[in-house]
Amino acid sequence: MRAELVMVGTELLLGEVVDTNASFLARHLADLGIDLFFKSTVGDNMDRLQDVLGRALGRSDLVLMSGGLGPTEDDLTREAVSLAMGCPLHEDRDVARWIENLFLERFGIANALNRQNRKQAFFPEGSEIIPNPVGTAPGFWLEKDGRIVVALPGVPLELEAMFAETVLPRLRKLVGAESLAIRNLHFAGIGESRLAELLADLVETQTNPTMALYASGGMVRVRLAAKSTSREAAFGLIAPLEEEIKRRAADYFYGVDGETLESAVAKACLARGVTLASAESCTGGLIAHRLTNIPGSSEFFLRGYVVYAEQAKIEDLGVRPETVAEFSVYSAEVAKEMAEGVRRRSRTDFGLAVTGIAGPGGGTPDKPVGLAYIALASAENTIVQRHFWKGEREQIKDRVASAALRLLWKRLNALDTE
């Protein structure tokens, strides 16, 4: 089955509203094993909506629509589907009574079924009504000539409830036994192109399972997807490929599916019974924020310092003024003293520190924007890394935080071999 999404609303095109409905529907279609090949966003304009619907119905078996089911003049989804599928609009008396009772029960408004509100009780001929348990705009399911159109409101809370209660069970029956399984493998410290090179022959020969690489925030995700008669059988197809990918890129692999780099760090700290403190300059507490998002992090993460100013590094961590004067705060030497200072003052097993220039200002030819130093101190030694990234301020901060967490994660894993 081939599916297509049509998201309706001028507010989506203007960027006034973020389209979370599309990602919600896409995820569920993927879980069902339904192929999603196209997604269109169209404003509240009948001609353009007709054009988009015509193309969708010409190439897809299932069209899921979001938005345009309200009571106002610019809510055009019912009319557009009616014209596109040749199904005249008819009033559903049961829905009309339901809307009238709803206004009376919820808002104390009697005789609320005026011309505008009555519009929500009209549907293309042959439609099956999709009840709305949390709003006033019902949706509809319409089948004709081997095509299915499912229209849902644009309010995410309403769409999600209606999809879960009515649409999802029907789609499960339609797709039958075939299921799709998805596994996401996460890697840090390696670029997308380098990982693609390591996996080139696997990518070239893929059939079922399929493989795709995605890069974001200095990390790479490998998405594996397989179809079979059941989810268990599909995951069985994925397993050998997953193990081969892990083997080839073992130095960079840190987790699967919902696991994050910080959750991998937390798991490693808790398993080994070690403690950590952080000292952050350019990341402004982002490392501490990511670690404390993990439940139970207080068992290993004892404290974090945000030492943004030069004097804070000296007063709070014991960085020597002469080190700052000779090398500047953007240096390996200062990063080293920050890590050792935060470890010493916090009495932890590890001290993690970062300093750098996130921009957009503050850079020089010798120390450009994007330069960062990361240091990790332990009883045995202090590791210092130099990094340089290009990008916007938040991108650089995120990459520095991720690189720091990866350094810690690698060091924790190395404890098993010592």
**Which of 18-27, 109-118, 231-240, 399-408 has the lowest average pLDDT?**
109-118
CATH number at residue 251: 3.30.70.2860
The last residue of one of the domains, among 148, 175, 202, is 175
Quote the CA–CA distance of 11 and 417 in Å, as a whole number: 56
Examine the domain organization and report whether 279 and 412 are in the same domain.
yes
pLDDT > 80? residue 106:
no
Examine the domain organization and report whether 278 and 402 are in the same domain.
yes
pLDDT of residue 111: 63
* Sign for the pseudo-dihedral over CA of 166, 172, 173, 174: positive
pLDDT > 90? residue 3:
yes
Selection from 288, 330, 318, 323 nearest residue 305 by Cα: 288
Examine the domain organization and report whether 56 and 193 are in the same domain.
no
Q: Specify the number of domains making up the chain.
A: 3
Percent pLDDT > 70 in the chain is 97
Examine the domain organization and report whether 151 and 36 are in the same domain.
yes
pLDDT digits (tens, 9 = 90+) for 163-185: 999 999 999 888 876 678 899 99
Examine the domain organization and report whether 266 and 314 are in the same domain.
yes
In this prediction, residues 226-233 reach a mean pLDDT of 88
pLDDT > 90? residue 100:
no
Examine the domain organization and report whether 234 and 289 are in the same domain.
no
What does pTM read for this prediction? 0.71
Q: Which domain holds residue 197?
A: 179-256
Examine the domain organization and report whether 234 and 308 are in the same domain.
no
Examine the domain organization and report whether 145 and 118 are in the same domain.
yes
Examine the domain organization and report whether 277 and 251 are in the same domain.
no
pLDDT of residue 402: 95
Q: What are the backbone angles phi and psi of residue 297, rounded to the nearest 5°?
A: -65, -20
Examine the domain organization and report whether 126 and 266 are in the same domain.
no
The last residue of one of the domains, among 226, 256, 286, is 256
pLDDT digits (tens, 9 = 90+) for 384-414: 999 999 999 999 999 999 999 999 999 999 8
The last residue of one of the domains, among 215, 240, 256, is 256
pLDDT of residue 178: 67
Examine the domain organization and report whether 246 and 134 are in the same domain.
no
Give CA separation, 339 vs 209, 269, 383, in Å. 44, 17, 9
pLDDT > 80? residue 323:
yes
Selection from 126, 127, 110, 145 nearest residue 69 by Cα: 127
CATH number at residue 396: 3.90.950.20
Tokens 């998405």 correspond to 223
Examine the domain organization and report whether 152 and 88 are in the same domain.
yes
CATH number at residue 69: 3.40.980.10
In contact, 61 and 147? CB cutoff 8 Å: yes
Give CA separation, 108 vs 70, 94, 111, 200, in Å. 20, 20, 10, 65
pLDDT of residue 365: 93
